[in-house]
Amino acid sequence: MSERLQPGDVAPDFTLPDADGNEVSLADHKGRKVIVYFYPAALTPGCTKQACDFTDNLDVLAGAGYDVIGISPDKPEKLAKFREKESLKVTLLADPDKTVLDAYGAYGEKMNYGKKYLGVIRSTVIIDEEGKVERALYNVRATGHVAKIIKDLAI
């Protein structure tokens, strides 16, 4: 488990398959601001709400110069089902080995009903045009999170 990222850190580069199996790299977005959000599992209620929120606000975010990427440990096939079922427009990437989740501090110890276990920590990292972390938000809520980002970024 790696450390959580801090503002000013260089965002770890990554290349992961999208829902169609095409490789997508953070480097592909150089010169653009990127919101990378990490979620536990496609096709679950909280993650669906969050992905739909990002999709519903994609025009606003893109208009302000932000690309949005969602990363989970799901396989590309499950991401494709998720995208189709919910009509998602955000880029969804598969990280079944959890290497990127770990590099971003979005995988680690969690607590549920008094039990500790390892899992995906719902997180959002906002990266500037130079590839540096502008904001790193951990243990975010699935509901209302996108509205808070828009408000905090004054979009």
* Active-site amino acid positions: 47
User: CB under 8 Å to 65, separation ≥6 — which residues?
Assistant: 32, 33
Copy the structure tokens of residue 54: 């990002």
Residue type, 144: G
Q: Helix 76-86 to helix 45-56 angle, to the nearest 10 degrees? A: 60
Is-contact 110 117, C-beta < 8 A? yes
Residue whose entry in the numeric block shows the structure tokens 């972390």: 133
Q: Which residues pair with 66 in a beta bridge?
A: 33
Measured on CA atoms in the order 86, 17, 30, 2, is the torsion positive or negative? positive
- Measure the CA dihedral 108/112/117/119, to 10°: -40
Q: Which of 136, 155, 107, 132 is nearest to 8 (CA)?
A: 132
